[in-house]
Amino acid sequence: MRLALLSLGLLLGLATPNASTEPLTITSSSLSRFALLTNVTTFGPFKWRGGIELASANQKFGGLSGLIMTDECTSLRAVSDAGRWLTATVTYSGHAPTGLGKASIVPILDDKGKPPQSKRFGDAEAVAEGPDGKTIVGFESRTRVGAYDLAGKGMTARFQNLNPPKDIVRGRRNGELESLGYFRSGALKGHYVAVAETNLDAQGNTRAWVWSGKRSFAFSIRQLETYNITDIALLPDGGILVLQRSYSASTFPGMAVSRFPASAIAPGKTVIPETLLEARMPFYAIDNMEGIAVCQRNGELRVNILSDNNFNTQQQRTLLLQFAYTP
């Protein structure tokens, strides 16, 4: 989802894509603190493990909106709202992430094997691990959800339509689809879930959908006041983490992480997540936080949160934050 701070940098990020994988040099600066005015490192169920600010001279880097972390939290896959994959290896010193190596960037291909020709077709906002080793991606602007066989075909994988509910496709172009997940267990095993950002129901709650094949239903999630939902992460214990972002011209950006059980999802129901963490600039090391992912490292469940700089390097940053999470 775009913020009001969009600039010429976004247009530069949409330069004509190259279908080949492009190596990328990313510089990293460590974030020693999350709470900038204190030495506090524990925030409810979250323990600060470290963070990094990422930058690159390559104008294609940025606009990151969705995140997957695997392999002991060392393998990073992200999508950008300019229609590109970012892959990289996360390096560590002790508990803390220190940088990204072996980074590359490549266009996300359509069903014909072609890169996006405009922002409308390349606006990837959500990514998650799907069934059979596939990666699922959600696009807004021209709303659609598809699977990519990255495990089998690498970055040449093409879009395979997952036929999301028609209500998703018919919504607002820039705010309809922001989050994705796939249930591997529980009552919803084998189903996909998608969450909007600014598509609200009659009571002002965020709309969401669950589907598998032709079976689908809608439910809602109550977001915090002044916040919009920007991503979700499905937990091994059946919980769902919800990342929310607050932004307006009159306030500093805010970030919140909440949680609800997947068992609370039912047709027509509104779920009310429990808020676990809330933070605002300039008191915390945050920015326009848009992506959340979980992974296991050294026996810990780690929560990773990624920001989208909207290709606006003068006013926004790309941050990767990491916490140990004890449910």
Would 154 be classed as within a structural domain?
yes
Which of 258, 250, 287, 207 lies closest to 31 in space, CA to CA? 287
Would 1 be classed as within a structural domain?
no
Would 29 be classed as within a structural domain?
yes
Query: Cα–Cα distance between 46 and 177 in angstroms, integer?
Result: 27
> For the whole model, what pTM was predicted?
0.92
Q: What pLDDT does 13 receive? A: 38
Question: Helices marked H in the chain — which ranges?
Answer: 8-13, 119-122, 150-153, 166-169
Query: Cα–Cα distance between 244 and 292 in angstroms, integer?
Result: 10
Query: Cα–Cα distance between 67 and 34 in angstroms, integer?
Result: 20
Confidence class for position 101, pLDDT limits 50, 70, 90: very high
Would 108 be classed as within a structural domain?
yes
Would 2 be classed as within a structural domain?
no
Which of 139, 136, 131, 168 lies closest to 65 in space, CA to CA? 139
Which residue range(s) make up the domain with 93?
Answer: 8-325
Q: Looking at the predicted structure, is the pLDDT value of residue 156 above 60?
A: yes
Q: Looking at the predicted structure, is the pLDDT value of residue 5 above 90?
A: no
Residue 224 DSSP code: P
Which of 131, 133, 125 lies closest to 150 in space, CA to CA? 133
Q: Looking at the predicted structure, is the pLDDT value of residue 265 above 60?
A: yes
Query: Cα–Cα distance between 217 and 124 in angstroms, integer?
Result: 23
Q: What pLDDT does 141 receive? A: 81
Number of compact structural domains in the chain: 1
Query: Cα–Cα distance between 298 and 286 in angstroms, integer?
Result: 25
* Token duo for residue 144: 């659609």
CATH number of the domain that residue 232 is part of: 2.115.10
Residue positions counted in the chain: 327
